Amino acid sequence: MGAPLTAGPACLIFSAMSEYIDQIETGESVGLVEKKFFTFGADEPLVLESGRRLGPVTLAYETCGTLNADRTNAILVCHALTGDSHVAGFYDGNDPKPGWWDLMVGPGKPIDTDKYFVICSNVIGGCMGSTGPSSENPETGRPYGASFPVVTIGDMVRAQRRLVDSFGIDTLLAVVGGSVGGMQVLEWSVRYPHRVHAAIPLATTTKHSAQAIAFNEVARQAIMADPKWNRGDYYESGRPEHGLAVARMVGHITYLSDESMRHKFDRRLQDRVELSFDFEADFQVESYLRYQGNKFVDRFDANSFLYLTKAADYFNLENHYGDGSLVAAFSRASCRYLVVSFTSDWLYPTYQSKTMVKAMKKNSLDVSFCEIEAPWGHDAFLLPNTRLSDLLSGFLNKICLHCRIGDVA
């Protein structure tokens, strides 16, 4: 592929917008898309890394673009912790907003649906159409609840591989994702090294720090301390809404940055000119977090939040594939990498990306790395950013040239 996209000092650019903006112009859309479902494992259940079996397994998924005749232009997009398969476009004309990465996926966009066939699926353990704790347990006819087996990032990727196989795709042009989606990208690159031409992990890590695990544990305890959680059996008695809202508040703080919170809120009061001297939401940041927590309750399942955060905590690439050595883990890989971090991301800070890049280079892998200056914290990969857009489109074009796929002029 030639020289890396970046060499020497990190690439710098300031993000112009933030996640606080509800309506973002995303350019031309892929238009109407459909949530589809793929089911497997009815006769031969998926054997999980825990040793337990899960079947049948259903994955909710979405596709954009057209798969070419030789099935070589497919890109798998992996969503973050509480994301879903709705990556771009609209389900119908009444949708208030498009898919979660409509900024990047669509005609003429970095992941150009005029060139690429894009697949995005909801992970197992989730609650957006894929098999998870809120799904019916075929043995009981009731929701699994806490009897659902613990799943790992590796289990999620193995399920995705079954979906990819169903399209007759032998090798993915690229796998791309941020945060927990980035963990799935890294897992794909070492678990199935000959089925991935390129891997693009964004704002992610090869293993959670003690601090990241600690935040997840506080969030889980908030859910389990809610009396309505009822050991995970709440689907008929009422959801643990307060616990889940608090869990989301805790998580949301880790997605932001000190600078972004000062910029948006500082210590400004909410709908008042004086302190109330009670425990209502005096400050704008308090009101914002309560709003985010309550909004999250309307769309997400508390048990899924427990399972997905535990899967993220269990992820440890160097232990699983390298007996404690990240260099040994990446010795399994053969694809080209584009690794991107963000200056204000304190959940998965840049030093973690640099650690994985160093291990990749020790294996003489083709690696491009860029640290993007963006003040909005961990969620920066979801926001408009010219530098990120240019990096993705340029890198994918070079992969196409290397693989001799289509006209990428």
> What is the residue extent of each domain of the chain?
36-214+321-403
Catalytic member of 84, 344, 378, 393: 378
Q: Two tokens at 196? A: 């991935």
- HSE at residue 364, side-chain half, CA atoms within 13 A, is 0
Query: Topology of domain 36-214+321-403, per CATH?
Result: Rossmann fold (3.40.50)
Q: Are 125 and 82 in contact (CB under 8 A)?
A: no
379 is in an annotated binding site: yes
345 is catalytic: yes
Catalytic member of 345, 353, 366, 368: 345
378 is catalytic: yes
Question: Could you give the strand order of the β-sheet that contains 57-64, starting from the edge strand earlier in sequence?
Answer: 36-40, 57-64, 117-121, 74-78, 174-178, 198-202, 336-342, 367-372
339: helix, coil or strand?
Answer: strand
Please list the pLDDT of the chain residue by residue as tens digits (409 residues): 333 333 333 333 222 323 333 445 667 899 999 999 999 999 999 999 999 999 999 999 999 999 999 999 999 999 999 999 999 999 998 888 999 999 999 999 999 999 999 999 999 999 999 999 999 999 999 999 999 999 999 999 999 999 999 999 999 999 999 999 999 999 999 999 999 999 999 999 999 999 999 999 999 999 999 999 999 999 999 999 999 999 999 999 999 999 999 999 999 999 998 999 999 999 999 999 999 999 999 999 999 999 999 999 999 999 999 999 999 999 999 999 999 999 999 999 999 999 999 999 999 999 999 999 999 999 999 999 999 999 999 999 999 998 888 654 3
Catalytic member of 15, 29, 130, 179: 179
| Pairing, β 336-342 against β 367-372 | parallel
DSSP for 40-102? E-SSS-EE-TTS-EE-SEEEEEEEES---TTS--EEEEE--TT--S--SSBSSTT-SS--TTT
C-alpha–C-alpha distance, residues 47 and 198, integer Å: 27
